[in-house]
Amino acid sequence: MKLRVGLLGGGSWGTTVASLVSRNAPIKIWARDNDTVRDINENHRNSKYLPDATLPEALQATGDIGEAVKDADVLVMGIPSNNFRDVLKEAKSYLRPWVPVISLTKGLELSTGKRMTEVIEEVLPGHPVGVLTGPNLAREIMAGQAAASVISMEDEIIVKQLQQLFHSGLFRVYTNTDLLGCELGGVLKNIIAIAVGMGDGLGAGDNTRSALITRGLAEITRLGVAIGGRPETFSGLTGMGDMIATCTSPLSRNRHVGVELGKGRKIDDIIEDMLMVAEGVKSAPTVMALAKKYNVAMPIAEDVYEVTKGTRSAVRAYRGLISASAGSEADAG
């Protein structure tokens, strides 16, 4: 019997994952926006978030969260971090016991500093939890371009079963049992992407971009390992791979924020003009709190945090980064 899937969230990535899964299993996607529900069901499109993509006819949408959740054998959460807990609570009364819950969200809960899988464990104790994460730009995948991702859970048996649910055609899915490391890689790289974008917005060259990505990867690896992730995870798809895609693609929301900051725009104006969420902006304060807690130096992330909260200009931050003294590459900073 095929697993039945419920996916909550009608944004670009949620819709993309639902489209991929629909080739392997029955799936129902929940969206709060009635126009999006109607567009998916009647036109096989999500014109708001993926205007150029045609969705599979097998993909069905609903505006009733209970309808999406009650029969699900797997629940997938494609909800931004600021609404993640509330939507999960709304789904709780419809979800059957022991159903695995997979997060697509690359962010931290601002009020608690928790990762999304920690929020799931808190709201839904007893449910196996995992993440689907990696260098995955929704529009490229919907255009049929090859991509690779990682399904991560601590349970080796369940993660191998779910691997086949998400693996589809040119979308290759690997497994990894380092849940903490995989999830943190997806969160932390967003902040480095803002830094790289700021450099691009200020007219920096490829050499600068390469240096920021490399030193940024060192920063997130230091913090990730200090918290409990495995070092090799940050050299893989969910660390280095995701960082390269997010730091270099014009489709990256976090890089876009950085580019606009580099051009001198205010953060509130940038966010107001964006249709989709840039998780790096919301995660920055929580990441800096974690860096302080674990006594990890993160100068690039700190500069991004100061710029996003308006206490430092992108020009000043950039000058600070390139003028900082350079010691051994193996050392922090």
Secondary structure of residue 27 in the 3-state scheme: strand
User: DSSP character for 237?
Assistant: I
Among 70, 189, 263, 282, the active-site one is 189
Known binding-site residues for sn-glycerol 3-phosphate equal: 106, 134, 189, 242, 252-254
Sequence length of the chain is 333
Q: How far apart are CA 81 and CA 246, in angstroms?
A: 18
Instruction: Specify the DSSP element, H or E, that contains 255.
Output: helix 253-262
Q: What is the DSSP code (8-state) at residue 211?
A: H
Residue 15 Cα distances to 29, 31, 170, 219, 325, angstroms: 8, 10, 17, 32, 45
Compute CA distances 56 → 24, 37, 45, 74, whole Å.
12, 14, 9, 20
Q: Can 263 be counted among the known catalytic residues?
A: no
The binding site comprises 12-13, 32, 49, 106, 134, 138, 189, 242, 252-254, 277, 279
CA dist 173 to 21, 63, 146, Å?
12, 29, 11
Measured N-to-C along each axis, helices 299-308 and 279-293 cross at an angle, to the nearest 10 degrees, of 130
Identify any residues that bridge with 277 across adjacent strands, giving them in sequence order: none
Could you list the residues known to form a binding site for NADPH, using ranges.
Answer: 12-13, 32, 49, 106, 138, 253, 277, 279
Which residues are designated catalytic?
189
